[in-house]
Amino acid sequence: MITEIFKVDENSILELEKASKLLNDGELVAIPTETVYGLGANALNKNACLNIFKAKGRPSDNPLIVHIAKPEDAEKIAYTNELYYKLAKRFMPGPLTVIMPKRDIIPYEVTAGLETVAVRCPEHKVAHKLIEIAKIPIAAPSANTSGKPSPTTAQHVYDDMNGKIPMILDGGECKFGVESTVISITNDSIMLLRPGSITVEALKEICPNVKIASAVKEELKQGETALSPGMKYKHYAPKANLYLVNDKNINFIELAKEKQKTENCAIMCYDEEISLLENKNLLPVGKKDDVKEQTKRLFILLRRADDLCVDTVYAHLPYDEGESLAIYNRMIRACAHRVLGG
């Protein structure tokens, strides 16, 4: 199959109509969103959704997020509640995914057999316009090969999906660069399943009762089931062995300089640290205090680490609070919990 890339914005009606026709015909289309690129299919078409799993090599027990144009469209696919609308008023459209009981119209192929469905209303103008034109809910996980870092540019999607899908919509670099915040809700409580750019603190302003699922920060214990199946897989991993350095207990610069002498390694350092290190295989993550920029560069740098063909990568252990919790969660899984300095 030939994979075509089209540069688009929300006014590229011809291209969006072509994408809409492909989706309605049961084909897959890669779509830009504000978080990462999604691999879209008609969420009401079982076979189309099964093809997402094939193209990604995604384990069949890992459910898909369903994207809608307006918060009210959730009514057609899920049993909503009051809290959903409070959250929607504040955070939608935007990088928040809410899990609720599913309606029969959503096939079990989308939810990996679960009775719940994950609903998101993207803010990206191209994604929004496409869902409107297609007039169907669109199931879309991240458009990467399973296990690889999520794609934040059309080129990353092409690297993974070339020959597997007919169309990639290129809407430029993603604004946030990390996948959506995933929560499940009751009428008066929130469980955070995957941290993203919408923080625990922001959620607490709408509903004070927010719990964090243990898999967000810790490794699942043997026999423990993940509330969000995606959390049990080693994800976002570069080919090299990634080590996180707890710089409260270990001098990061001293360790990095030593490793630069003795190993074929890359160093993910803060921008302020560039001049302190040998200028070889450095992957600057952004300024120490600029968590937004660090989030945006995260997956780009993990992919670049692969291009460098190094054996090891050393990075700071991120904070596990606020906006940085999303980085912590992705990095701790990318390094398979290899942390130096406790």
φ, ψ dihedrals at 101, nearest 5°: -60, 140
Contacts 24+ apart (CB under 8 A), 261-266: 263/311, 263/312, 264/310, 264/311, 264/312, 265/240, 265/310, 265/311, 265/312, 265/313, 265/314, 266/240, 266/305, 266/308, 266/310, 266/312, 266/313, 266/314
63 vs 238, which CB is nearer to ligand AMP? Answer: 63
95 vs 284, which CB is nearer to ligand AMP? Answer: 95
Is residue 83 within the footprint of ligand AMP (CB under 6 A)?
Answer: no
Residue 112 CB coordination number (10 Å): 17
296 vs 316, which CB is nearer to Mg ion? Answer: 296
CB of 230 to Mg ion, least distance (A): 6
Cα(65)–Cα(140) distance, rounded to whole angstroms? 6
What does 215 interact with, of Mg ion, ligand AMP, none (CB < 5 to 8 A by kind)? none
Cα(194)–Cα(281) distance, rounded to whole angstroms? 30
CB of 144 to ligand AMP, least distance (A): 8
142 vs 197, which CB is nearer to Mg ion? Answer: 142
Sheet containing 339-340: order of strands:
265-268, 312-316, 241-245, 339-340
Is residue 141 within the footprint of ligand AMP (CB under 6 A)?
Answer: yes
Is residue 229 within the footprint of ligand AMP (CB under 6 A)?
Answer: yes
Size of the site for ligand AMP (CB under 6 A): 19
CB of 288 to ligand AMP, least distance (A): 28
Positions in 139-178 near Mg ion (CB under 5 A): 142
Among the candidate windows 84-92, 136-144, 180-188, 326-334, which touches Mg ion by CB under 5 A? Answer: 136-144
Question: Are 250 and 341 within 8 A, CB to CB?
Answer: yes
CB of 114 to ligand AMP, least distance (A): 5
CB of 307 to ligand AMP, least distance (A): 23
Is residue 295 within the footprint of ligand AMP (CB under 6 A)?
Answer: no
CB of 194 to ligand AMP, least distance (A): 6
Among the candidate windows 43-51, 137-145, 152-160, 296-304, which touches Mg ion by CB under 5 A? Answer: 137-145
Selection from 317, 98, 109, 311 nearest residue 193 by Cα: 98
CB of 105 to Mg ion, least distance (A): 24
- Give the x/- contact pattern for ligand AMP in 162-191, rule: CB under 6 A: -----------------x--x---------
Question: Are 18 and 78 within 8 A, CB to CB?
Answer: no
Is residue 282 within the footprint of ligand AMP (CB under 6 A)?
Answer: no
Residues lying near Mg ion in the complex (CB under 5 A) are found at 142
Residues lying near ligand AMP in the complex (CB under 6 A) are found at 62-63, 65, 99, 111, 114, 116-118, 141-142, 179, 182, 193-194, 228-231
